[in-house]
Structure 1
Amino acid sequence: MSASAKTSLSSASTGSVHMDSTGFVKLGSQLPALAKTLSQAVDKLNLPLSEMQQRTLLLYLDQLLLWNKAYNLTAITDPEEALIKHVIDCLAIITHLPAGSLLDIGTGAGLPAVIIAICQPERQCTALDSNQKKIRFIKQISSELGLSNMQPIASRIEAHEASYDVVTSRAFASLIDFVEVAQPRLADNGYLCAMKGKAPSEEELQALESEWNIKTIKLHVPYLHDSRHLIELSIKNV
């Protein structure tokens, strides 16, 4: 990112939807409308995000779309749709996350890890994925956006050994599969937080409830009409 682009981070003003376009490549003429949509979503979600943080989220979106073809980051190419289904979708979990160090398994393009790191600079975030190209993208964008709290790692979860207070993922279709691979990385008294579309089935919950405290949180994602849930799990004290 150029020096002028970095300097312009502090010149954002999403409240009035007047945003310096310096540093943006793909969003172009859509930037004011996207900034307004993001600002309204932030208000609806009651997130204490500064103008600079909101601009950083849009810069991430811009780079995601710019490098998408080279790194195969997302099937969504429309900026507004990507803003809603990727950025705002991840923003909806922020206020529900327990505190502490965070590992995002199967992070892909950094979702939700990069979004969390932007919104919560005090939290140490690790983005884990076995896809080398996607981790290279996260390393590049983290450097450009100044995300000193982000650690991208190219590895399979089975080969990763650190432990974390919170383990997240939006990549697993099966809640049981997520719990199986994530549990070894969970610190004492930690939490697993799975992003899901539909709520887990009774069969899934019954298979886990003997060992886990399970909390199903229905999320309200602004501008998204699809179902979204966050499943929070913590090990029961025996």
Structure 2
Amino acid sequence: MNPLTHLLPELESGLSALGLPPRPLADRLLDYLALLDRWNKTYNLTAVREPREMLAKHLLDSLSMWPHVAPGKLADLGTGPGLPGIPLALAVPGLQVTLVESISKKTRFLREVVRQLGLDNVRVLDSRAEAVAEPGAYDQITARAMDTLAGILAVGGHLLAPGGRLLAMKGQRPDAEIAALPPGWRVESVQALTVPGLEGDRHLVTVTRDPAEAA
């Protein structure tokens, strides 16, 4: 039995608030959370220690971007313990997720999650983002707390297919980062996100190649 079953009502309520069907998604997410909690005690995969806090700060925060994620191939750069990639892989039908992480204890955990949860739409790459030799292979890349917009594009922009999008999760609206975007890129949208159980600003910045620059 999952030791975190007591969190199920809170998780289901959060999923409903985000417009996601709670079942069977909540059970799958709770299985992931239980694995993360257990491994975290030994391997220190995340600074968030309490499962209830992980529920809001990790699971629901990651899933707040789901309406803006399209089916197809997504690379989650610097995914850490699988955030937001694993929650999105569970929640978005037709999404193929590649988890890119260079810290070996985290990739070991990610492979165990893929094995135990039977995630046939998730693969794990033990690599730095800039070393992934798959140019143009992805419809979307994402990074939750990795770098500035320009920094993410510097290490991962090569992975995007023509017309592909960077989906960058940020706290406050990052106007300075937007102004510092490198030539050839433009902001498609900036969406304010609401995360059940969390206060403070959250934004999703979508960046694409600039057609004028490409021409």
> TM-score if structure 2 supplies the norm length?
0.92
**5+ long unaligned stretches in structure 1:** 1-21
> Residue type matched to 2:190 in 1?
T
CA–CA distance in 2 between the matches of 1:188 and 1:233?
Answer: 12
Pairing 1:35–2:1 present: no
Alignment pair present for 1:150 and 2:122:
yes
What is the deviation of 1:71? 2.5
Give the gaps of 5 or more residues in structure 2. Answer: none
- Cα deviation, residue 158, structure 1: 1.7
How many residue pairs get aligned? The number is: 209
Q: Name the CA distance, whole Å, in 2 between partners of 1:151 and 1:121.
A: 16
Deviation string 1:24-70 (CA, Å, 9 cap, x unpaired) is 24x2xxx23x2111111111111235x22210101111110101033
Cα separation, 2, equivalents of 1:99 and 1:190:
12
CA distance in 2, matches of 1:115, 1:139: 15
The corresponding residue for 2:149 is 175
Report the 3-state secondary structure (helix = DSSP H, G, I; strand = E; otherwise coil) of the residue aligned with 1:57. Answer: helix
Runs of 4 or more off by more than 3 Å in structure 1?
none
Find the aligned partners of 1:227 and 1:206 in 2 and give their Cα distance: 19
Aligned residue in 1 for 2:167: 193
Query: Would the aligned equivalents of 2:81 and 2:106 in 1 still touch at CA under 8 Å?
Result: yes
- Over residues 105-139 of structure 1, what are the superposed CA-to-partner deviations in whole Å (9 max), with x where a residue is unaligned? 00000001111111124211000010111011011
Conserved? CA contact 1:121–1:147, under 8 Å: no
Q: How does 1:1-238 map to 2 (within 5 A)?
A: 22=1, 24-25=2-3, 27=4, 31-32=5-6, 34-49=7-22, 51-162=23-134, 163-201=137-175, 203-208=176-181, 211-214=184-187, 215-238=189-212
In our comparison, the structure showing a higher alpha carbon Rg is 1
Root mean square deviation, CA, Å: 1.5
Report % sequence identity.
Answer: 38
Counterpart Cα distance in 2 of 1:59 and 1:94: 20
Higher relative strand content = 2
TM value normalised by structure 1: 0.83
- Most deviating of 89-98 and 104-113: 89-98
CA distance in 1, matches of 2:35, 2:199: 26
